[in-house]
Amino acid sequence: MQLQAYSNSSLAAGAPLQRRALAGRMSVRARAAAPSTSTPPLSQAPLIKLPEGAKDLPKNPGVYAVYDGNTTLQYIGLSRRVDASIANHLAELPELTNGVKVLAMTHATRESLTEAWKHWVEEAVNATGTIPPGNAPGEKKWQSRTVKPPRPEIRLTAGKGTNTPIEDLLDKVVKDCKVVAFIKGTRTQPQCGFSHKMLTILNNHRTDYEVVNVLDEVHNPGLRDAIKNYSQWPTIPQLYMKGEFIGGSDIVGEMEENGEMKKLVEQL
């Protein structure tokens, strides 16, 4: 399903939602089409901090509003799988995806989703005097994106034990993957701020990379210590490119600031 495939058309219609909302009123037709039970207000929905709150997002249909680090509303979307849609935004627009408000609608129809989305957009426009930037006609960063599940993390074993030393499996992953980040947590739910920082930098460069969770003792037993011995580096996360150790979070952050990371990514 493509995000906003039908909500975009609502914005571009002959009597666009943007003009109606900016005028501070709904058309008679829109009021008549409103659901019998009123949509809970956007202003009353709790703000979920990301990425730490990603684990609590619903896997069912719903409407959601995305906020940046300054708690400024950036986008209001609707989806058949809210958690997957927000995971995509986290991966593709991490600098703008710092918090989210969600209205879960377990048994929603296409029409009820669209109507709830309209209510939230109109409320936002009435409150701010402008449509959220991600919903503006012609905006491409947020809209018309195909929802796809996040790429799973690499697992060094099947979780049933192995006769191969974990160091050998680790070495194979480093040499086989063009870019691989060993972090605490997963791609969509990093478990420490340093891991989140590293993934954010990779995402900002639209890097194609793999992730290995050093905290997964079922599938990656002993990896947390093995990776430190392998690189002779005492901390996690760790980033490798083309089989070479690049550094931890601080080094990657410095390389991002001085432009070295951009050059490395361009050479992949």
Name the range with the highest mean pLDDT among 105-109, 172-176, 196-200. 172-176
Topology (CATH level 3) of domain 7-135: GIY-YIG endonuclease (3.40.1440)
Q: 73, 76, 80, 123: which is closest to 105 by C-alpha?
A: 80
Name the range with the highest mean pLDDT among 25-29, 55-59, 109-113, 233-237. 233-237
pLDDT at 119: 94
**238-241/179-183 β-pairing:** antiparallel
Does residue 86 carry a pLDDT above 80? yes
pLDDT at 21: 39
For 33-45, the pLDDT digits (tens) are: 333 347 899 999 9
pTM of the model: 0.55
What is the SS3 assignment for the chain? CECCCCHHHHHCCCCCHHHHHHCCCCCHHHHHHCCCCCCCCHHHCCCEECCHHHHHCCCCCEEEEEECCCCCEEEEEEECCHHHHHHHHHHHCCCCCCEEEEEECCCCCHHHHHHHHHHHHHHHHHHHCCCCHHHCCCCCCCCCCECCCCCCCECCCCCCCCCCCHHHHHHHHHHHCCEEEEECECCCCECCHHHHHHHHHHHHCCCCCEEEECCCCCCCCCHHHHHHHHHCCCCCCEEEECCEEEECHHHHHHHHHHCHHHHHHHCC
Q: 214, 206, 203: which is closest to 153 by C-alpha?
A: 214
Was domain 166-266 assigned CATH 1.20.1250.20? no
For 240-263, the pLDDT digits (tens) are: 999 999 999 999 999 999 999 999
Rounded to an integer, the average pLDDT of 9-36 is 38
- pLDDT band per the 50, 70, 90 thresholds, residue 268: confident
For 191-210, the pLDDT digits (tens) are: 898 998 999 899 888 889 99
More confident residue, 13 or 221: 221
Residue 182's Cβ-count burial label (10 Å; 0-12, 13-18, 19+) is buried
C-alpha angle 64-200-230 in degrees, rounded to nearest 5 = 135
| Residue-averaged pLDDT of the chain | 83
* Annotated domain spans of the chain: 7-135, 166-266
